[in-house]
Every structure is written in structure tokens, then in C-alpha cells.
Amino acid sequence: MITFGTSGWRAIIAEDFTFANVRLVTHAIADVLTDLATGNGVIVSYDPRFMAEKFAALSSDVLASRGFPVVLTVRDTPTPTIAVTIRARGLAGAINFTASHNPPEYCGMKFSTADGAPALPEITKRVEERIRVRSVSETESVAGTEQAAISQEDLREAYLTELLTKVDTDVLKRVRPKIAYDALWGTGRGYLDAFLRDCGCEVAVLHDWRDPYFGGASPEPSPQNLRELCAKVTGGSFTLGLSTDGDADRFGIVDADGTCIAANDVLALLADYLIESRGWTGGIGRSVATTHLLDRVAAHHNRAVFETPVGFKFLGELILADKIILGGEESAGLSIKGHIPEKDGILACLLVAEMVAARGKTMGTMLAELHQTVGSIQNKRIGVRLTPEIKERFQKKLASEPPAELGGKKVVEINRTDGVKYLLEDHAWMLVRLSGTEPLARCYAEAQTESELEVLLESGRNFILS
């Protein structure tokens, strides 16, 4: 069964992710685009994964046979670049062949609609319905309207020009921070580094060539994958280390001392900085799995907090409605007021560079000052691999009555926005949910101290496996 998770359909190449299934899913998306009748033309793009450009070419042919003019990108392209182009040109949407931060054996199809956002569940359910109908009767091409044109374009310059309206380049040009950037062999190469160089910054780049295998690891800007960047930052006396994932919609940040800064902490610092520097009105949006440190920042500035299910498309709705100045997910996703309703790892990195330059302080110093102002919180996420038997047992447990306590802390409230979030005494909490992109259960926890946090995470692991 082909199903769409939080960021589209993902599967292992040559197992379920095949040319036949790509053709099938593209026809289903074409059916839904025809029904929606919004915009004219579709972008088809891809990240650096094995055979991704071949899958994109096939999808383009199918869409053109169905009468949709197609813009096929000339190279692997960041997800936020695609979103900006959809909105700027009034297009019907996009199909992006990416599995984001998933391991290299995966590929995926991410469907974005005319607003530039990932398709919402009500839309992807319609795509899944069309897949089921077509999979019974056909997997080959079907008769369409008159053949439409396929043009090939590089979307980079228009996107970088758009970023000039979102980042205070005067600060970067004045301070000119020395920055190391790890592209992780992904689509961000030639984007983030080019923007910084245009601002006069000295930039050293790691892994700035296409590698379909991402160096043999997942293209995720995690502490484990950024060890080389950490060494580069400290060895070369850099102000900051920046990184983006495979499709450049997620960010990674390394402080001047080589410390990786957690995405939750980056979001809280940027929320505080944007409120102070931009003077924007609006609240702060976060997913149910994201730190409550954002809530404390919001309370400090007398701002509302909007909580959503996991999946940036829900935060994107708040951005489109102009309700928030920043939307963030603990999985290193961010966008801001007036920008796209989609994660933008390149913009996130640029805003961090601007903040460090403007305040003249390291990330660690700023975080310590923020904790002094609003209080400190410790948080972490773990993943637990699931067998079919454990998954079935876990799902039944989520639907059952909650335990009276977890990790030695009393359960005071239950939140079922996405998975089950157990709100505990002493402002601690634990969330357990199934991953929308991998065969995992995820456990998120937050507490006042590291020791309390570790107890909660171990309780969460046992809760999932028992």
C-alpha cells in the first residue's frame, strides 16, 4: 500500500520505489490536480539520490501527457526553492523526488500544492484513493489531453533574491563572520555558501559535490554526522558552523567552540531575536513534539503559542494565515512570517548567522542568557525500531487508558494532538508517536534536569517495547 506520511511517500529504491509506482503515483497526483484546478503548470524536481533525476524525468513525461506544462529543474534543488517558485509563478504545485534526511537507500515523492506548502492530509488522502483505484486497473500511462511542454530551468537566482528580503544582509556585510558550511552532499551546495559570500563572509565548504550515497550515512545534520564540521570550526577559528540536510529544508548549527546546538534551542533563540529585531506582531507556532522553551519565550514577550500536530504543513497553515512570526519543529524545521509555508533550512542558517553577527555573542552565551531570563529546560528525542508485532502492541497501548505516572512523575493531563503526550508534574512531559517517515516509534521528553530527562526517556523506551 502506497501511503503519504508527514512529508509525502517514501520507500526503498527498487523495492517499492519503482518506475511503475512512480508512474502510478504521478497519475494519481495529476487526477487530484485536475480536480483542484488551481494554477497552471507543475514543477518537478529532485534531490541528489540515486536515480532521482530519472524518476523526475518519468514523472515529467506523465504530467505533460496529462496536459500539465512542466518545469523540470536542471539540477537537484532545495525544497524551499521549489516552494518559493510555486508561489511566485502561480503554479498548480510540485512533485519533488526527495526522501529528505532518510538513509540513501530511500527515495520519495513529496507533493506540494499551489500555496507552496506540503499537501495537507485531506489532499493526500485523495491521492491515495486515486492510487487504489488505478492500481487495480492500470499501472501504465493513460490517455490524457494534448501533450504539454516540458521546460528545464535553474531556479536558484530567484530564490536567493527572495532571501534578500528576509535576511538583514547589512549586518552580515558589516561584521562578515567567518563561517564553515557542511552541505552534506545535498541540494544546499551553491546556495547557502553563495549567499554568504555575496555578503562578504569568508566561507569554507565541506562536502559540496553530489554523492547519491551521502558519504554512506543519512544526510541529516545530526551531531554524529557533523563531527567533521565541528572539527573544522574549532580548527579554523570559525565564528559559526552551518549545515543543511539532503533537500536543504532542515538546519544544523555548530557554535564557535565546536558544540552542536540542538534545534529546539535554535528555535527559541531565533524566536526571541526576531521579536526583538523585527518588531513583528503575531504568535509562535510549534509542533506538539517541540520544546516548551518556546512557550516561555512567548510568555516573556506576551505572545500567543499555537500547537500543531507533527508535520510542517500544519505550521504552514498558520504562516499563510499570518498568525505567527515563527513556526518551528524540533526536527530542525523553520519558517517565518511572510515567507513560505514550508521548512527552509537555508533561511534558518542565514538567520542564525545574522543573529550571531548582530548580537556579537556565541550561541552558547545567548542560550545561557535566555535560560537566565525564562528558565532552563532539558529535552531530547529517541527513536525505537519496530517489528510488526511491537508496532501493533504499541498502537493498542496508545489507545488504552494512560498510566498514573511515568518516570516517577504523576501524569496530570493527556494531549492526543499527535500520538499521546503525557503532561507531567514539574512542567515535564513525554510524547510517544509513530514516525510518519520511517518504521520507528519516537519518544520525546522534556524535564528540568538532565537526570530527570534520562529517566523519562528510559521510561518511554520501556513503554514502547513492553
Per-residue model confidence as pLDDT tens digits over 384-429:
999 888 988 888 888 888 889 999 999 999 999 999 999 999 999 9
Using the predicted structure, report yes or no on whether residue 53 has a pLDDT greater than 80. Answer: yes
As a CATH number, domain 9-156 is 3.40.120.10
| Residues 178-234 pLDDT 10s | 999 999 999 999 999 999 999 999 999 999 999 999 999 999 999 999 999 999 999
CATH of segment(s) 164-374? 3.40.120.10
E strands, 331-425, where? 333-336, 378-385, 405-406, 409-415, 420-424
Q: Which residues contact 106 (CB under 8 A, 6 or more apart)?
A: 10, 11, 12, 13, 17, 49, 99
Cβ-based neighbours of 80, under 8 Å, separated by 6 or more? 159, 248, 249, 340, 342, 343, 344, 345, 346, 347
What's the whole-model pTM score? Answer: 0.94
**Sheet of 9-12, strand order:** 9-12, 106-112, 93-97, 42-46, 70-73, 150-153
State the burial class of residue 423 (Cβ atoms within 10 Å of its Cβ: 0-12, 13-18, 19+).
middle
Element (H, E) at 246: none
For residues 15-22, give the mean pLDDT. 96
Is pLDDT larger for residue 436 or for residue 143? 436
Q: Is the pLDDT score of 140 beyond 70? A: no
pLDDT at 301: 98
Does the fold of domain 164-374 match that of domain 9-156?
A: yes
Model confidence band, residue 466 (pLDDT cutoffs 50, 70, 90): confident
pLDDT for residue 233: 98
User: Does 38 have pLDDT greater than 90?
Assistant: no
Q: What span, in angstroms and rounded, lies between the C-alpha atoms of 84 and 163?
A: 10
Q: What does the buried/exposed string (b/e) look like for 373-394 if buried means 16 or more CB atoms within 10 Å of the residue's CB?
A: ebeebbbbbeebebeeeebeeb
DSSP classification of residue 426: G
Smallest CA-to-CA distance from 248 within 337, 356, 366, 163 is with 163
The domain spans of the chain are 9-156, 164-374, 378-465
- Say what the pLDDT of residue 142 is: 59
Q: How far is CA 199 from CA 22, 76, 248, in A?
A: 41, 24, 20
Mean pLDDT of the chain, nearest integer = 94
The pLDDT value given to residue 40: 85
- At the topology level of CATH, where does 378-465 sit? TATA-Binding Protein (3.30.310)
- Asked if residue 37 has pLDDT above 90, the reply is no
Beta bridge partners of 42: 70, 93
pLDDT tens, residue by residue, 271-297: 999 999 999 999 999 999 999 999 999
